[in-house]
Structure 1
Amino acid sequence: MTLRWLLSLLLLVAAPLAAKTELAETRLDAAALAQLKQAHLGQRWLVLCWSLDCPACLKELSQIAALQRRYENLALVFINTDADDELEPERQQRLAQFELSGFRHLYFADGLAAQSRYVLDSGWYGELPRSYFVDELGHWRGSSGLLEAAQIRQWLVPGGVNDTHVVPAPAAGQG
């Protein structure tokens, strides 16, 4: 009886830890985007769009992996733009490689890249990497190209950047 009780206790303690490491992805649509915006209202956050065939995107994922080891509770959301359900195992493998399972992940619907881009940003033509700086009021500012780690730190880490040169963050309210 004692062994069974210990095993039950172990499962109760371990289950939440195991759940945190599972990668849950959500298909990007208008409802998912609205829910995401509501969940982050009142805080700065960053949306990073990436693809498996984008070397700069993979470099950005690597930078985020290093930042998350140094800073807790980074408000990041990742959106994969591949729009191919057959790539799901490779997509999940890449995110696991960079230890990014603790963040929110969305993906473009299979075969619907243009429609998914439009849901996210009607003025975006798909260039990658693509980032969106979102301020506390919910204002979005899109940026194409590889972000520097200092830009990400300044936007997401309270107190900004102390240990490297300061790279200006987008002004609040732009976008």
Structure 2
Amino acid sequence: MKRVASGFATGFATGLANFLCALALLAAGPASAAPAGIRQFDADSLGTLLATQKGQPFVLVLWSLDCPFCEASLRTLSKKMRADKNLRVVTLGTDTLSDPRNATLMEQRLAALGLAANAWALGAQPAEQLRYAVDRQWHGELPRSYWFGADGVGAAKSGLISARAVDRFLSRRH
């Protein structure tokens, strides 16, 4: 009888320890969780992203950490936003949030440029599926931008975003 009680106590203690460890992991959340300012973009997120702009004109720019033309485009948009507070920019990082290092680097880069307020990045679904969800005609070239009017209609553009392109957008918007 003593051996059974001892075995029960040991099993109970081990089970309790495992339960508490599992509970702590659940409380901590997934390791791939996005930083607070970056929202995860999944195959069904485009409608939500568009709705966040509430019928206002805005630029959606797709970018990557390792794309020098993306960096230049983000800098141009940042500079123009400082000059015109009504310019709305939404960023969609093509580096996946499932890599915590990418998530941190994206958040830091966007924060440094003042572009962290409306930040999204690809989620865990396959990149091809997410590209298709954004635009069936887009094959992954970067930078890629979409210039949306208040009516919600967007025009796609691949390549470097110039100050002149932003100025044209702003002049049509007013």
Deviates more, 1:105-114 or 1:128-137: 105-114
* 1:112-131 → structure 2 map (5 Å cutoff): 112-131=126-145
Task: Please give the alpha-carbon distance, in whole angstroms, between the structure 2 residues aligned to 1:157 and 1:116.
Answer: 32
Runs of 4+ in 1 over 3 A off after TM superposition: 156-160
2:81 touches 2:88 (CA, 8 Å); kept in 1? no
3-state SS of 1:142 partner: strand
Cα displacement (A) at 1:130? 0.1
Matching residue's letter, 2:96: A
Query: Structure 2 residue aligned with 1:50, among 60, 63, 84?
Result: 63
User: Match of 1:5?
Assistant: none
Matching residue's letter, 1:109: G
Residues 42 and 95 (structure 1), Cα distance of their counterparts in 2 relative to 1, 3 Å cut? closer
User: Match of 2:149?
Assistant: 135
Matching residue's letter, 1:140: G
* 1:158-173 → structure 2 map (5 Å cutoff): none
1:132 touches 1:141 (CA, 8 Å); kept in 2? yes
User: Match of 1:16?
Assistant: none
Query: Structure 1 residue aligned with 2:168, among 150, 154, 157?
Result: 154
Which has the larger Rg?
Answer: 2
Task: Please give the alpha-carbon distance, in whole angstroms, between the structure 2 residues aligned to 1:54 and 1:33.
Answer: 23
TM-score by length of 1: 0.70
% identity of equivalent residues:
32
CA RMSD of aligned residues (A): 2.2
1:27 touches 1:108 (CA, 8 Å); kept in 2? yes
Cα displacement (A) at 1:159? 6.8
Task: Please give the alpha-carbon distance, in whole angstroms, between the structure 2 residues aligned to 1:96 and 1:85.
Answer: 20
Matching residue's letter, 2:40: R
User: Match of 2:105?
Assistant: 90
Query: Structure 2 stretches of 5 or more lacking a match?
Result: 1-34
Deviates more, 1:30-39 or 1:151-160: 151-160
User: Match of 1:71?
Assistant: 84
1:79 touches 1:106 (CA, 8 Å); kept in 2? yes
User: Match of 2:48?
Assistant: 35
TM-score by length of 2: 0.70
Cα displacement (A) at 1:139? 1.4
Deviates more, 1:51-60 or 1:139-148: 139-148
Query: Structure 1 stretches of 5 or more lacking a match?
Result: 1-21, 161-175
Cα displacement (A) at 1:68? 1.8
